[in-house]
Amino acid sequence: MKVILASGSPRRRELLEQANIEYTVEPADIEEVTSETLPSKVVEDLSRQKAVAVAANHKGEIVLAADTVVAFEDKILGKPQDEEDAFRMLMDLSGKTHQVYTGVTIVDTNGNINTFSECTEVTMYPNSPEAIKSYIVSGEPMDKAGAYGIQGLGAVLVESIKGDYNNVVGLPLARVYRMLT
């Protein structure tokens, strides 16, 4: 099985390799705009837009697209604008539980479109301002939604998760694998 991954995410590539799924990369060249407001619907809509855009150029091939957001109190937290923004986000999440949503769309060889979302709850340790500042100095949070990466140094901030770990990384791999096979 070979898929076209409509994403430039290195983490998604690593996950597909982990599952021995052959792929080529063709990021969707679209403006990510949605009228949806619920985090689960936002990621479903955006993943669908990406998959449909790439599938238009690849009739008869499998296209996989995904979109991941971090949500806290039903508000989507994007990538931090600067270190101050990262600090604010991580302090807000400290000692609390938030959700990570990934929307996935698979366009099969017949052009059928299947879209779903997965939600994982993440609980952060109560982290001190000093611990958060130390993490920010590493530079890791600056290109991550919610200002942390669970697969990197950010793992030390996380107390527990409820749900699929790989979903937090960027792709609910087991569910995607089952749908592809």
179 CB-contact burial (10 Å; exposed 0-12 / middle 13-18 / buried 19+)? middle
Give the least confident one: 21-25, 74-78, 108-112. 74-78
Q: Which pLDDT value is given to residue 78?
A: 87
Report, as an integer, the average pLDDT of 127-151.
Answer: 95
Q: Which pLDDT value is given to residue 74?
A: 86
- Return the structure tokens found at 40: 């689960």
- Return the structure tokens found at 111: 């052009």
Structural domain including 65 reads: 2-180
Report, as an integer, the average pLDDT of 69-89.
Answer: 95
CATH classification at residue 159: 3.90.950.10
Q: Which residues are catalytic?
A: 67
Global model pTM greater than 0.85: yes
Contact 77, 32 (CB under 8 A): no
In the chain, the number of structural domains is 1
